[in-house]
Amino acid sequence: MSSAPKTSAYLRTEDAPLLPAPISMVGIQGWIIANLFPTIGNGVVSILAGAFLLWIGWGVLDWALFSAVWSGDNREVCAVEGAGACWPFVYSRFAQWIYGFYPIDQRWRVNICFLVGAAALVPMLMPSMPHKKWNVLFLLIAYPLITLILLTGGQFTMSAAAFLNAFIILALAATFLPLVAFGIEEGIQSNRIGFGLAGFGILIWLASFVIGFSIWHSALGSFSPGSIGAAIFIGAGGLLGIGQLRGAANSSAQAALRNWLIAAAVLFGLMLVLKLDFGLQEVETSQWGGLLVTLVVAITGIVASLPLGILLALGRRSKMPIVKTFSVIFIEAWRGVPLITVLFMASVMLPLFLPEGVNFDKLMRALIGVALFSSAYMAEVVRGGLQAIPKGQYEAAQALGLSYWKLMSFIVLPQALKIVIPGIVNSFISLFKDTTLVSIVGLFDLLNIATTTSNDAKWASPQTGATAYFSAALMFWIFCFGMSRYSLFIERRLNTGHKR
Amino acid sequence: MSTASDVYEAPKVSFWNDPKIRSALVQVIMLLVIGFFVYEIVDNTITNLTKRNISTGFGFLNKSAGFDLIQSLVSFTSESSYGRALVVGFLNTLLVSSIGIVIATLLGFIIGIMRLSRNWLVRSIATLYIETIRNVPLLLQMFVWYGVVLKSLPGPRQAINVGDMFFLSNRGLNMPDTIFGDRAWLGLAGLVAGIIGAIVLRSWARKRQAATGQPFPYVLTGIAMILVLPVLGLLMAGWPITFDYPVLGGFNFSGGAVIIPEFMALLVALSIYTASFIAEIVRAGIQAVSHGQTEAANALGMRSGITTRLVVIPQAMRVIIPPLASQYLNLTKNSSLAVAIGYPDLVATGGTVLNQTGQAIEIVMIWMVVYLSLSLLTSSFMNWFNSRMKLVER
């Protein structure tokens, strides 16, 4: 056997040079082949779809830009054969679309509200910004107050009876403070006299109802012998309650007292601020309109629906049958009917429900309807978040001895609400679109004012209506699309590693 | 080890800290508060009603309405009663929402599948559609369809004419009306027989396939039965069908049937708007089917059409149905926007009745009861359907 090494005919000693990928796979051409012409049938579809897109796109562009009318002072420039969008109409009416019939020299107040709101909202929406707690407090407490005073003019009549009301409520709370600080049994023990006095005060008030003499019979807090007597006794009970807390040295007593003082300061502060006259001209809500009304309705609706919705969601998951039944009925009743019927109900039935002398204006009634309606939807969103929290979280908190409200407010709700931020934004989007329905009960929101101004004889032309709708649609679209992108962004940010 | 005396005995809880007592107390207080509110509302309402001289009760429903409705499925004149007006409105609501649901579902499924297409252009058309339609208020879209698109159609004299049978103008779509003569019930009987036959055939075909593995094209056969049997029935009866064609006379059409522009605008707006939501639901549902399922089907040698029909869609439907049900409910509720363009649905006719009689509480109660029961009916049907489609697990 010869052991001479066989030499192969050819042995490559180095790598072959790397060739670029075939031209049909990369670059623009590759993309076009992969996405538009992978097969012949697909290519035909692409050509048809492209032609369709070009046709639509050209139609819109031609109407909105190339054949559009850009300047003029009345209908004559727009009522031309073959003319496109009538932009001078939008330009001349745009301020009305934003402010409605708000007095022109007072529009700066609306502008301030818009600017302050935007300045507070932007850092709120950016997850990396610090001081979220103060930001939320400003947006939910200070900002509504500022807008309320600026937009209406702040001419509120705050009667002395209202202060008496506030006093009675605070005194009652003070009577109950020892219960919070020392626990129920010890609390009752420590403030027996206080409870006795407060109970006697309430009895006087109830008796003034039952007896029904005209001077006695009046609501709690108005100046009548019944309610003043009640206020004196309840106030005494409250004083005794506070005295108990001041005497006690433990920290929960101090905390309870501090919280009560803050609440008292905020309540009286609010009433004083509302009572103050800032010298602003009064602007009735019937003069509001346009984007202002749209934003007021949408934002009030969502802000008011959050606390209500959270309570309803907790109620629906409660183990107490009455609480649960009530929440389920409330939620399903609102969710089962269209918003229009709710708005009709708010505008025609609410006045019947209220006692004589209490009257809400049109906007306020619509706001109440919208808030109740959206709170039912919010409750379902929040319930989804509550269900997503693993049972272990509840059990761990209970094992640590947390009470129900502590368990909810420190452990469960912070996690649940964080999960449902996209859901909240989505329901805000649908609420924002639904605000257009307030036009049916006679409010001048953005859509209604766009429609109304387009019927104005000064600008009547075949294209005026279309232009008005197109611009209003564009404004709604910008808001809604922006919010939906934001919701996606938050979803992606919160989605930390659960997705494959 | 452990004897009976070792069994852990719960320590005595003090009266106030006993959860049972606490929850009972909370509920009693809540009942009292709710009761107080209800009492206040009822009391105020009664006071206000007596002050305004409004009598309560549903007696007004029998009074003559005195207004006309532009569309009614049952005969209605201005002498008919308010109650009948509300029934007409209710039927109109049902009509527009049931047709709307069918169109929105079809359109939504098409767009949703287009969104998953490999073809970039098809995909972008679907995305463009969804993102545009979803982010513009429905009421605005309705105004556009009604006030811009349909109003800009030519008048009856220049109507768009399709085969001298269909005329599309700003007065609506005029089309031939079918008139059934004597013995036309045979056609209806044929239709019923066709539907029953198709159902029987389907269950037989399924049983046979389960037993022998032999498939039978029951879908096509069933459709053929449903189409052919009524025609056969009518032929047996001697074709008792005549058509009443619309004829242009003066400034409008006479004869034939007409679909009013209000109905068209409402239907188109509702279908297009809801379809954009359904499309997203369909896309999410199909994407929720794990890729392994398709791969496994491919590995078994199934063709792609069969894979889609037998593997992907049944699983996707489980994800799709619950949100789809709520979209159907939304469409039904949104049909109440008809009031804005004057289509006489339940809310619009109710609003007219309310304005004439001032019976706010009764009308709002009728609205709420009708919509709530529609919602409950739809959702219970969808729940039943959902439980049939649901994955049966251990």
- Radius of gyration of the CA atoms of chain B, in A: 29
Same domain, A250 and A302: no
Nearest to A341 among B121, B138, B367 (CB): B367
**What is the rounded CA–CA span in Å between residue A284 and residue A292?**
13
Specify whether B34 is located in the same domain as B117.
Answer: no
- In a shared domain, residues A462 and A362: yes
At B91, list the tokens.
């039927």
CB-count exposure of residue A468 (10 Å: 0-12, 13-18, 19+)? buried
Q: Is A36 inside any structural domain?
A: yes
Q: DSSP string covering A440-497, please?
A: GGT--BHHHHHHHHHT-GGG--TTHHHHHHHHHHHHHHHHHHHHHHHHHHHHHHH--S
Residues B86 and B33 in one domain: no
When pLDDT is cut at 50, 70 and 90, the band that residue B230 belongs to is: confident
Q: What is the pLDDT of residues A429-468, one digit of tens each?
A: 999 999 999 998 889 999 999 998 888 888 888 888 889 9
**B312 found inside a domain:** yes
> Could you report the per-residue pLDDT of B310-320, keeping only the tens digit for each?
888 888 888 88
Chain A stretch 433-462, residues whose beta carbon is closer than 8 A to a beta carbon of chain B: 433-434, 436-437, 439-440, 447, 451, 462
> Which has the higher per-residue pLDDT, B127 or B11?
B127
For residue A15, tell me if it sits in a domain.
Answer: no
**Could you read off the pLDDT of A304-336 as tens digits, one per residue?**
898 999 999 999 988 889 999 999 999 988 988
Whether B23 shows a pLDDT value over 60: the answer reads: yes
Q: With an 8 Å Cβ cutoff, is A265 touching chain B? A: no
A372 shares a domain with A290: yes
* B115 to A85, A409, B102, B112, B121: CA distances (angstroms): 31, 42, 20, 5, 10
A114 at B interface, C-beta within 8 A: no
**A51 touching chain B per CB within 8 A:** no
Tell me if B70 is assigned to some domain.
no
pLDDT of residue B183 exceeding 80, the answer is no
Could you tell me if A53 lies within 8 Å of chain B, comparing CB atoms?
Answer: yes
pTM, two decimals, is: 0.84
Residues A293 and A234 both lie in one domain: no
Backbone angles phi and psi of B258, in degrees to 5: -135, 140
Q: Is residue A122 part of a domain?
A: no
Are B121 and B259 part of one and the same domain?
yes
Q: Which of A98-107, B3-12, B195-204, B225-234 has the lowest mean pLDDT?
A: B3-12
Record the tokens describing residue B197, joined without a space: 């036959």
- Residue A114 located in a structural domain: no
Q: Is A103 exposed, middle or buried (0-12, 13-18, 19+ CB in 10 A)?
A: exposed
Q: Tokens 């180095």 correspond to what residue?
A: A14
CA angle A293/A297/A301 to nearest 5° reads 170
Q: What is the CATH number of the domain that holds B253?
A: 1.10.3720.10
- Cα(first)–Cα(last) distance of chain A, in Å? 61
Percentage above 70 pLDDT, chain A: 93
Q: Which pLDDT belongs to residue A429?
A: 92
pLDDT higher than threshold 80 for residue A416? yes
Q: Are B276 and B327 in contact (CB under 8 A)?
A: no
pLDDT given for residue A274 in this prediction = 80
For chain B, count helices (H), then strands (E): 13, 8
Q: Would you say residue A154 has pLDDT above 80? A: no
- Asked if A42 reaches chain B (Cβ–Cβ under 8 Å), the answer is yes
Considering the domain architecture, whether residues A249 and A366 belong to the same structural domain is answered as no
A6 CB near a chain B CB, below 8 Å? no
**Crossing angle between the packed helical segments A143-152 and A107-125, to the nearest 10 degrees:** 170
Residues A293 and A437 both lie in one domain: yes
Instruction: Pick the residue from chain A with its C-alpha nearest to B128.
Output: A53
Q: Quick check: is B311 in a domain?
A: yes
Residue with tokens 């982010």: B135
> What pLDDT score does B100 carry?
95
Write out chain B residues lying below 8 Å of A323, CB-based.
26-27, 30
Q: Is residue A336 within 8 angstroms of chain B, CB to CB?
A: yes
Is a pLDDT exceeding 80 seen at residue A7? no
Query: In whole angstroms, what is the distance from residue A433 CA to residue B276 CA?
Result: 15
User: How far is CA B257 from each of CA B211, B254, B263, B338, rounded to the nearest angstrom?
Assistant: 51, 9, 13, 21
CA A438 to chain centre: 16
Cβ pair A434:B137 closer than 8 A: yes
- Comparison of pLDDT for B330 and A191, the residue scoring more: B330
**A349 shares a domain with A469:** yes
SS3 content of chain A, % helix, strand, coil (to 5): 75, 0, 25
Q: Determine the average pLDDT of the residues in A269-278.
A: 80
Domain that holds residue A43: 27-66
Q: Does A81 touch chain B (CB under 8 A)?
A: no
Contact B364 A439 (CB under 8 A): no
Rounded Cα–Cα distance for residues A73 and A228 (Å): 65
B45 shares its domain with B116: no
Q: Would B20 be classed as within a structural domain?
A: yes
Distance from CA of A6 to the nearest CA of B (A): 46
CB contact under 8 A, A447 and B16: no
Give the domain extent around B129: 82-176+245-389
pLDDT, averaged across chain B? 85
A446 shares a domain with A376? yes
Domain check: are A189 and A337 in the same one? no
The answer on A412 and A292 residing in a single domain is yes
* A408 and A468 in a common domain: yes
Which residue in chain A is spatially nearest to B334 when comparing CA positions?
Answer: A338
A421 CB within 8 Å of a chain B CB: no
Q: How confident is the model at residue B6 (pLDDT cuts 50, 70, 90)?
A: low
A352 with B45: Cβ contact below 8 A: yes
Domain check: are B144 and B35 in the same one?
no
Same domain, B267 and B332: yes
Tell me: do A254 and A293 sit in the same domain.
Answer: no
Single residue among A275, A295, A313 that ends a domain in this structure: A275
Q: Could you tell me the sign of the dihedral formed by the alpha carbons of B117, B122, B126, B132, in that order?
A: positive
pLDDT tens per residue, range A362-385:
888 999 999 999 999 999 999 988
Residue of A nearest to B331 (CA): A338
Judged by CB atoms closer than 8 Å, whether chains meet at B364 and A345 is answered as: yes
Q: Residue B297: pLDDT band by 50, 70, 90 thresholds? A: very high
The answer to whether residue B79 scores a pLDDT higher than 70 is yes
Residues B45, B89, single domain; the answer is no
- The domain tally of chain A equals 3
Instruction: Determine phi and psi for B80, rounding to 5 degrees.
Output: -65, 165
Tell me the C-alpha distance between B265 and B146, whole Å: 5
The verdict on A477 touching B (C-beta cutoff 8 Å) is yes
User: Where residue B168 falls among pLDDT bands split at 50, 70, 90?
Assistant: confident
Q: What is the pLDDT of residue A220?
A: 45
Predicted pLDDT at A373: 93
Which domain-ending residue is among A228, A257, A275?
A275
Count how many domains chain B has.
Answer: 2
Q: Is B376 on the interface with A (CB under 8 A)?
A: yes
Least confident piece of the model among A200-204, A395-399, B32-36: A200-204
Q: How far is A163 from chain B (nearest CA, A)?
A: 23
Q: In whole angstroms, give the CA distance from residue A91 to residue A464.
A: 12
- Token representation of residue A307: 């606390």
| Final residue before a domain boundary, out of A249, A275, A301 | A275
Of A122-131, A431-440, B267-276, B366-375, least confident by mean pLDDT is A122-131
- In 3D space, the residue among A292, A280, A279 whose CA is nearest the CA of residue A102 turns out to be A292
Question: Strands B252-254 and B247-249: what pairing?
Answer: antiparallel
Q: Are residues B32 and B103 in the same domain?
A: no
Give A59-72 pLDDT, tens digit per residue. 999 988 888 888 88
Facing B41 at nearest CB: one of A50, A353, A462: A353
pLDDT of A499 reads 46
Give the sheet arrangement for strand B166-169, strand by strand: B160-162, B166-169, B172-175, B257-259
